Amino acid sequence: MFDIQALEEKTALFSYTKWSAELPVLTNRYKQDNPVPHISLTNFLPADVAREAADEFPVADADAWIHWQHHNENKHGLVKRELFPPRLGTVTDELNSPRFLAWLSELTGIPDLISDPSLEGGGLHQSRRGGFLNIHTDFSHHHYHKNWRRRLNLILYLNAGWRPDWGGAIELWDRRMRRCVAKFSPLLNQVLIFNTDEKSFHGFPEPLSCPEGVSRNSLALYYYTIDRNPGPRTRSTNYRARPGDGVRKSALIWLDKQAVHLYSRAKARFGFSDDLVSKILGRISKK
């Protein structure tokens, strides 16, 4: 007999049968993990799909890439879905699809999740040798949809042969910024899903020591819910110093954060592009 379900699983970009069967256990893990609800899953996509996505990950040298290079981060991003290579594009579409959103809502307990076709702040992320991202919490609302409240981050890592001594592990810190509670290496086909709010501090603050020509690659997707009463004050990205960062570094982190905050507000009000934001922030940081 022809097994339609088996054929669908063989050609699927995400194994709903496999991961839905594990949802009761995964949901319990998600809610209980500290310092914020989160879960890290290995072999998230079918192995051949993950390999194809990793193999076609582009180098961040085209004009369309955004260069987030200022005192609090050094990485590159591509948010234009139409420029994604084929496999990366289809994976992005699947992880933004209604079916996946339903699975994600069941995993996290957050109903009525919506995806962001514009990939604001997300999309393809690439960091080279020396790249880093200081510990921070994320902006609370979409810059161009003021009633979209950001609820979840999904980061899919696409780094075959990544070595732990190169660094790049994402760190989750406690809400008082006293210590790192959890850490995950950016390994191929590993995904990290976590709640994002004013207490979800995360980042990879130590500069990468990978060889020249090697990069830390990931697909970052953010999910929202409709906020009926967003209020006049929303949060921009909140960078924080670690306990051992010292007075000078802590001061620079704070000053750069203020620049990010001011420009984020201007971006939301006037509709500036991320490309312009990254260039101006880079100049402010140098000064």
Cα torsion 117, 91, 202, 168 to 10°: value is -140
Q: Over its length of 287 residues, how does the chain's per-residue pLDDT go in tens digits?
A: 434 454 445 558 999 999 999 999 999 999 999 999 999 999 999 999 999 999 999 999 988 899 988 899 999 999 999 999 999 999 999 999 999 999 999 999 999 999 999 999 999 999 999 999 999 999 998 888 889 999 999 999 999 999 999 999 999 999 999 999 999 999 999 999 999 999 999 999 999 999 999 999 999 999 999 988 766 567 889 999 999 999 999 999 999 899 888 877 776 676 666 666 665 555 554 54
Q: Taking Cα atoms as reference points, which of 81, 90, 83 lies closest to residue 14?
A: 90
Domain boundaries, the chain: 13-286
CATH architecture observed for domain 13-286: Sandwich (2.60)
CA triplet 25, 27, 29: central angle to 5 degrees? 70
For the entire predicted model, the pTM comes to 0.90
